[in-house]
């Protein structure tokens, strides 16, 4: 642990930190549980090599999710260029009705809406910049926003990294030319999205209920959030059933699901390479064949 981070926390919060214990972090940041001299605990995320605004953007995303007041969000306590100190939520096993309650709460989150797509600032999806500030013609047009700020932005990154071979270029060109048809029938409502929800980005709280962490927040089509939950194994059938009963999806969402997975697969290809190329191509083939 960098002693300077301890010093900043102690000075800002006027506490004394006891020796800490490391906990499992993600692919990008390290994590620790801190305890002060009064026995209060805190959750610390740190990264001495992160972009200087990354933790500030994460804190803003958590605060935005909390505004909906429908699902537990850890409260940011202190943010700096190299760390984010959060409320420490002590986890318990999932409650009996966890999946039902989680599905309903997630649907209610999506009922929290905005006048425009995007967000007041750009942020990050993993460690990749995520462009959220819409151009004028994207503010109230989901299809244009999603094409330009999600698919084509990721494609330009893939070009820079040498992944954009002729097959990928052809597939993206097809998406660009046909996205109006592919997303036909979807809503044009800016819902509050977690932005990166999979099984690693929620925890259970003291009551065994869901708590959202590590967001990539923006206002967008809620089908994009649900598609991400299915990318790495998916959640339980009860979760999706409860969501549907609380906030039914428009017809055809199953067909549109893959184009929302595409954004995240392209991002994983940019971040990690490897097998994500073939998964990206398989989705492009799904729509172009």
Q: Which residue is catalytic, options 7, 36, 80, 196?
A: 196
Closest CA to 175 of 269, 258, 253, 274: 258
30 and 130 in a single domain? The answer is no
133 and 222 in a single domain? The answer is yes
Residue 35 structural domain:
3-87
Residue 248 has φ and ψ, to the nearest 5°, of -55, 140
**Does pTM top 0.85 for this prediction?**
yes
At 245, which helix (H) or strand (E)?
A: helix 237-246
The yes-or-no answer on residue 177 being catalytic is no
- Residue that finishes a domain, picked among 40, 58, 87: 87
Residue 232, domain member (yes or no): yes
User: Would you write out the chain's pLDDT as a tens digit for each of its 289 residues?
Assistant: 466 899 999 999 999 998 676 676 556 788 999 999 999 999 999 998 889 999 999 999 999 999 999 999 999 999 999 999 999 999 999 999 999 999 999 999 999 999 999 999 999 999 999 999 999 999 999 999 999 999 999 999 999 999 999 999 999 999 999 999 999 999 999 999 999 999 999 999 999 999 999 999 999 999 999 999 999 999 999 999 999 999 999 999 999 999 999 999 999 999 999 889 999 999 999 998 7
CATH of the domain at 48: 3.30.200.20
Tally of domains in the chain: 2
CATH of the domain at 110: 3.90.1200.10
24 and 149 in a single domain? The answer is no
112 and 231 in a single domain? The answer is yes
| DSSP per-residue letters across 251-273 | TTHHHHHHHHHHHHHHHHHHHH-
Residue 35, domain member (yes or no): yes
105 and 245 in a single domain? The answer is yes
Residue 238, domain member (yes or no): yes
Residue 92, domain member (yes or no): no
Residue 195, domain member (yes or no): yes
Closest CA to 45 of 61, 63, 27: 27
250 and 141 in a single domain? The answer is yes
């Amino acid at each position: 642990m960098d002693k300077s981070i301890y010093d900043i926390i102690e000075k800002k919060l006027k506490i004394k930190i006891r020796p800490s214990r490391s906990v499992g972090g993600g692919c990008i940041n390290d994590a620790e549980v801190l305890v002060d001299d009064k026995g209060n605990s805190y959750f610390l995320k740190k990264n001495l090599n992160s972009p200087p605004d990354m933790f500030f953007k994460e804190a803003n995303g958590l605060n935005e999710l909390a505004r909906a007041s429908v699902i537990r969000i850890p409260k940011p306590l202190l943010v700096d260029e190299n760390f984010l100190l959060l409320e420490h939520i002590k986890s318990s096993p999932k409650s009996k009705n966890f999946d039902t309650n989680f599905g309903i709460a997630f649907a209610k989150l999506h009922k929290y809406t905005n006048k425009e797509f995007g967000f007041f600032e750009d942020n990050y999806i993993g460690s990749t910049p995520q462009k959220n500030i819409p151009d004028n013609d994207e503010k109230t047009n989901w299809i244009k926003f999603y094409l330009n700020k999600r698919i084509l932005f990721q494609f330009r990154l893939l070009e820079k990294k040498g992944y954009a071979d002729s097959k990928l270029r052809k597939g993206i060109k097809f998406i660009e030319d046909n996205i109006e048809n592919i997303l036909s029938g979807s809503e044009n409502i800016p819902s509050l999205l977690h932005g990166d929800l999979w099984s690693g980005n929620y925890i259970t709280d003291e009551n065994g209920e869901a708590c959202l962490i590590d967001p990539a927040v923006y206002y967008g089509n809620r089908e994009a959030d649900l598609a991400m939950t299915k990318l790495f194994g998916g959640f339980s059938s009860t979760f999706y059933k409860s969501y549907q009963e609380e906030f039914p999806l428009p017809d055809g969402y199953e067909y549109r699901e893959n184009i929302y997975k595409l954004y995240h697969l392209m991002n994983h290809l940019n971040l990690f390479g490897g097998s994500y190329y073939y998964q990206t191509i398989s989705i492009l083939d799904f729509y172009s064949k």
